[in-house]
Each structure stands twice: as C-alpha cells, then as structure tokens.
C-alpha cells in the first residue's frame, strides 16, 4: 500500500524478477475486472463520492 506513483508496482516487479518469482499487479486486476481505473473505482465508497 502507498500513494499513487510511489513505485509500488515497479519495485514489486523488480523484486519478483530478482527472486525468480511471479508478480501480480492487483491494480491491473481491478481494471480488467471492472473496466475502470483504480482511481475511478475508489472515488466512490459505499455509493458516495470520496472527498
């Protein structure tokens, strides 16, 4: 977890590559399943816009 643009996915991919492990970007999973960006999905919480 962390703010957008902090490098979470980049570091995850690099770490997985170095360890010979797989990497899964859950943000990409959310976008594939919903057809919307993570930002769009989380702008609304319980049907209400986030502040």
**pLDDT single digits (tens) 31-44:** 999 898 888 887 77
- The whole-angstrom separation of Cα 27 and Cα 38 is 6
DSSP for the chain, please give it. Answer: ---TTSSHHHHHHHHHHHHT-----HHHHHHHHHSS-HHHHHTEETTEE--
pLDDT digits (tens, 9 = 90+) for 1-51: 788 789 999 999 999 999 999 999 998 998 999 898 888 887 776 677 666
Q: What global pTM score does this model have?
A: 0.64
């Amino acid at each position: 977890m962390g703010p957008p643009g902090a490098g979470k996915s980049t570091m995850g991919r690099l770490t997985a590559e170095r360890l010979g492990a797989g990497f899964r970007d859950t943000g990409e999973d959310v976008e594939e399943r919903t057809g919307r960006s993570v930002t769009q999905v989380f702008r609304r919480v319980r049907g209400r816009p986030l502040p």
